[in-house]
Structure 1
Amino acid sequence: MSKPFDMELFLAGVLTGSYATRQRHLRQAKLIQSEILERWQLETPWAWQRKHVAWLLVYRLGKRSEATRYYYVLTARLLARRLGRSWVLSL
């Protein structure tokens, strides 16, 4: 039996800022993870590709406000930094 993926532990090394900022990044990263899991059955960020995160930003968050999408882009960049990938993500 495998343990569920711990996003908080995954991002612990790259999370900085105030408590509220760290909690926002964790909440958004968990939502990104659940959306990608639901669509492509990819549970861990190591299996993700740029197209998965870009899909989320364009199609799932497309009708949200620009500010909301901006904060999700920041979280996605944080995930990319933790993965050691050079994804170019924009609004």
Structure 2
Amino acid sequence: MFTSISFSLSAAPATTPVTPPAPVVATQQTIPQLNLNTADALTLQSTLSGIGKTKAEAIVAYREEHGAFASVDELLEIKGIGNALLDRNRDKLTVN
């Protein structure tokens, strides 16, 4: 005689649906700018590339003698600051 064997197949256990990660949206970071008309020599020296103590003090002295900077390009009037140095730091500076 034949015996009936019954196999029960079960489905795979239920799983939580996988939610794809949210897309990464590139955002432009805002770089805080240094105000040439209010920054002291120590801040200028520590924040700007290629600006040491002497040039930082010269920037402050120029501002005290000539008044507030009207534009960042006025830095070119200071001895020792040329186009390359200004261009390296331009994005870090403002004259608000």
| TM-score bracket relative to the smaller structure | 0.3 to 0.5
> Which is higher, the Rg of structure 1 or of structure 2?
2
Higher share of residues assigned helix: 1
The TM-score with structure 2 as length reference comes to 0.34
The TM-score with structure 1 as length reference comes to 0.36
